[in-house]
Every structure is written in C-alpha cells, then in structure tokens.
C-alpha cells in the first residue's frame, strides 16, 4: 500500500510539472490507466451566453463516438449535466434511467452501440457558470483510494491546463502589451505605467484595449486574471494580488491529503 501510494504521488508530481498540453494529457491518462480506468473523461461545461453552453474536455472514448457526440451537439442534452449537480460520485446506466427525453434516449442508445453502457461520474468545481465532471466508464463504483487519486489528478489537470492555456493566450500579445499588463498586474497605475515605459497614458489605455481584444475578454480585471494564471499566482479573479503562493500551496495541501490515506 505504501509503495502504491508513493507511485501515485510520483505520477501526480509528474502531472503537476507538465509544461504543455500533450504532456499533461499523457500523464493524466497514465494515472487513470494505473487504476485500470482506460476509458474516462474530464469534461467542463460552461456558459457562453445566457442560454448557450459550450464544453471543453479530455477523454479516451472511441473517437467515432466523440465526433458523433460533437456533431449532434449532445452536450446540450446530456442528462449528466443535471444528474451531477451534487458532488458525490453517482453510478449511471443508460438502459435503466427513466424520464429521459426522446433525444436523451437516442443519446444513450447510440452510446451503447459504441460500448458506452454505464459508468461513475463525480462533479468537480461547481459554480454558477461552469461545472466539471469526471466520468469513468464500465464500472459501478470507485474504490476510496482510486476516487481520491483520480479526483486529485483531475483537479491538478484543470489547474495546470488553465495555466498552460493562459501562457498560450499571453504569447499572442506584443512585447509592449505584455509589459503594460504585467505592470498593471502588480497594481501599478496607468499614469505610473506610462512613466516607466516612457509612453503616454492614452497609449497605455490603447495597449490594454488591444490586450482585451486578443484575449477575448471584456474587462481589464479579466486580463489580469489571465496574467495571474500564466504566472501561477491566481485561483479566482478577485484575489490575483493576494495569491502569490497559491500555486505551490495548492499542490502541497493536495499531496498531504494523499499521504493521509
């Protein structure tokens, strides 16, 4: 048991140190496969507009099913979204579910054709605007150590993916735009930023506006949040100034919880 926990800990350490998305995906897959969970998904549903939802995911399902799911926009009808509002793991079996809409019945019938019949789903990070689910296929329960390890792994995955995505977004900015937003992220006023960079204050505003456009956000606070993610200094949009040690502390707390098993 101790050797197993140490091996799990080493895999989690490797996941945390991932530098790009391919490496991150590969290491998450390794952890799930260690528990013989070869078919799994980590899916985040999020609000795009008031009545429109999008989703982002990493999965090891049959590619034909994934393409079919996306083409038919099944994420708009998948009952997992409503079933998984609670954070406890729940077992589902499509053939046994009642009160399904016609399109949900079609979804489960077609999933069955691809060998997707049942699984266990656990929700992570519930919030008003987004919800993440872990699903492991073809099992009826998660063993306690497995539940804890894959939950940690998936939370690590989401945390590091946010950072990798933020670094990619920041790379689309010009050098001057990055200089401006890095100074703003330190709490520097626009007037002081202008003095430091020897440019006018309207030019600072111009660069901030361009950064918002390129990062596809509407406020300067959202720009600074992305900078905080890229630097590993942020967990919530409102506390990027106070979260200098959040990135490492999150990892240390999680590893302590694993050692306590």
Q: Kindly report which listed range (3-7, 83-87, 107-111) carries the lowest average pLDDT score.
A: 83-87
What per-residue confidence (pLDDT) applies to 72?
92
The alpha-helical segments, DSSP class H, found in 84-136 are: 102-113
Beta strands in 94-202 (DSSP E): 118-124, 130-137
Q: What CA–CA distance (Å, rounded) separates 243 from 233?
A: 5
CATH code, residues 2-161: 3.30.450.80
Cβ 109 vs Cβ 162: under 8 Å: no
Flag the least confident range among 79-88, 104-113, 209-218: 79-88
- CATH class, domain 166-251, is mainly alpha
**Quick one: which of 74, 98, 154, 95 has its CA closest to 121?**
154
Region(s) of the chain under CATH 3.30.450.80: 2-161
| In contact, 212 and 219? CB cutoff 8 Å | yes
What are the tokens at 207?
Answer: 């660069």
Q: What is the pLDDT of residue 247?
A: 47
Q: What is the pTM of this model?
A: 0.75
Residue 114 pLDDT exceeds 50: yes
CATH 1.10.10.10 domain position(s) in the chain: 166-251
Task: Give me the phi and psi of 175, to 5 degrees please.
Answer: -60, -45
Are 136 and 32 spatial neighbours (Cβ–Cβ below 8 Å)? yes
What is the 8-class DSSP label of residue 187? T
pLDDT of residue 85: 62
Tokens of 165: 């995505």
The secondary element (H helix, E strand) that includes residue 45 is: strand 40-49
Question: What's the number of CA atoms in the CB half-sphere (13 Å) around residue 62?
Answer: 10
- Confidence (pLDDT) at 152: 87
Question: What integer is the mean pLDDT of 109-116?
Answer: 91
Least confident among 55-59, 143-147, 179-183: 143-147
Q: What is the pLDDT of residue 259?
A: 54
The per-residue pLDDT for range 212-247, each reduced to its tens digit, is 898 888 887 888 888 887 876 544 434 333 433 444
């Amino acid at each position: 048991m101790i050797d197993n926990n140490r091996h799990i800990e080493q895999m989690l350490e490797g996941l945390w140190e991932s530098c790009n998305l391919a490496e991150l995906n590969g290491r998450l897959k390794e952890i799930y496969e260690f528990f013989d969970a070869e078919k799994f998904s980590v899916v985040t549903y999020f609000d795009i507009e008031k009545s429109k939802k999008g989703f982002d995911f990493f999965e090891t399902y049959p590619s034909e099913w994934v393409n079919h799911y996306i083409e038919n926009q099944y994420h708009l009808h998948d009952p997992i979204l409503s079933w998984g509002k609670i954070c406890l793991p729940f077992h589902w079996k499509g053939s046994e579910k009642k009160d399904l809409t016609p399109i949900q019945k079609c979804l489960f019938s077609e999933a069955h054709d691809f060998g997707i019949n049942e699984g266990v789903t656990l929700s992570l990070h519930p919030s008003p605007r987004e919800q993440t689910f872990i699903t492991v296929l073809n099992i009826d329960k998660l063993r306690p150590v497995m539940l804890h390890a894959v939950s940690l792994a998936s939370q690590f995955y989401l945390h590091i993916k946010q950072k990798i995505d933020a670094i990619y977004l920041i790379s689309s900015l010009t050098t001057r735009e990055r200089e401006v937003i890095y100074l703003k992220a330190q709490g520097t006023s626009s007037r002081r930023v202008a003095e430091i960079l020897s440019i006018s204050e309207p030019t600072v505003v111009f660069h901030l506006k361009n950064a918002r456009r390129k990062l596809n956000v509407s406020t300067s606070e959202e720009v600074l949040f992305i900078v905080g993610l890229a630097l590993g200094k942020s967990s919530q949009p409102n506390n990027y100034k106070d979260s200098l040690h959040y990135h490492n502390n999150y990892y240390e707390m999680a590893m302590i919880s694993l050692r306590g098993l």
